[in-house]
């Protein structure tokens, strides 16, 4: 039998579940660094995944609780896609990945864990799938979330100010 120690998961396991949508909670609260929220748009926001597949794993989420793709209005769809594009640019500049996996989670059985639609952006590097997941059934994430958050927050701030014509 193999054991993978992940003591940080205990906070999540023991946390009282109130039946609230985690994305709605993150959308409403202003504890952005605690919630790993990197950017808040008018209709959507960008946040880091607390349990990332790879370093820099982001999620793009509409503020409004939306359960399926067809429920998004035109403006929400437009902003989600804009933030998706901005996230790819920022990740390229800040982390230098060789490629990306981008997916859309719809519904609990879609892997979302929540009935709130959201995009995932997973930066990928040549060789990021090595012997650890294959032989050790363990994924290695090479940087603390707080460090990645600081790097990406600075990159998003810089990029979004540059887009607005500020310096």
CA 73 to chain centre: 22
Active site residue 118: yes
Query: For residue 153, what are the contacts with CB-CB under 8 A and spacing of at least 6?
Result: 33, 38
> Which residue of the set 57, 63, 116, 118 is catalytic?
118
Tokens of residue 142, six digits: 């090479």
CA distance 39 to 75: 17
Contacts (Cβ under 8 Å, ≥6 apart) of 91: 56, 58, 97, 100, 121, 123, 152
Query: In b/e form, how buried is each residue of 43-70, taking b as 16+ CB within 10 angstroms?
Result: bbbbbbbeebebbbbbbbbbbeebeeee
Enzyme catalytic residues: 118
């Amino acid at each position: 039998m193999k054991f993978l120690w992940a003591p940080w998961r205990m906070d999540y396991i023991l946390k009282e579940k109130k039946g609230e949508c985690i994305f709605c909670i993150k959308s409403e609260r202003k504890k952005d660094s605690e919630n790993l929220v990197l950017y808040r748009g008018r209709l959507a926001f960008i946040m880091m995944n607390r349990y990332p597949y790879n370093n820099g794993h982001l999620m793009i989420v509409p503020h409004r609780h939306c359960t399926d793709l067809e429920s998004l209005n035109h403006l929400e769809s437009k902003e989600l896609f804009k933030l998706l594009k901005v996230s790819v640019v920022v990740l390229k500049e800040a982390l230098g990945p060789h490629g990306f996996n981008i997916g859309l989670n719809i519904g609990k059985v879609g892997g979302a864990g929540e009935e709130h639609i959201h995009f995932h952006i997973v930066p990928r590097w040549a060789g990021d799938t090595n012997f650890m997941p294959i032989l050790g059934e363990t994924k290695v994430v090479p940087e603390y979330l707080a460090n990645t958050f600081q790097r990406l927050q600075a990159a998003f701030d810089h990029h979004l100010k540059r887009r607005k014509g500020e310096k």
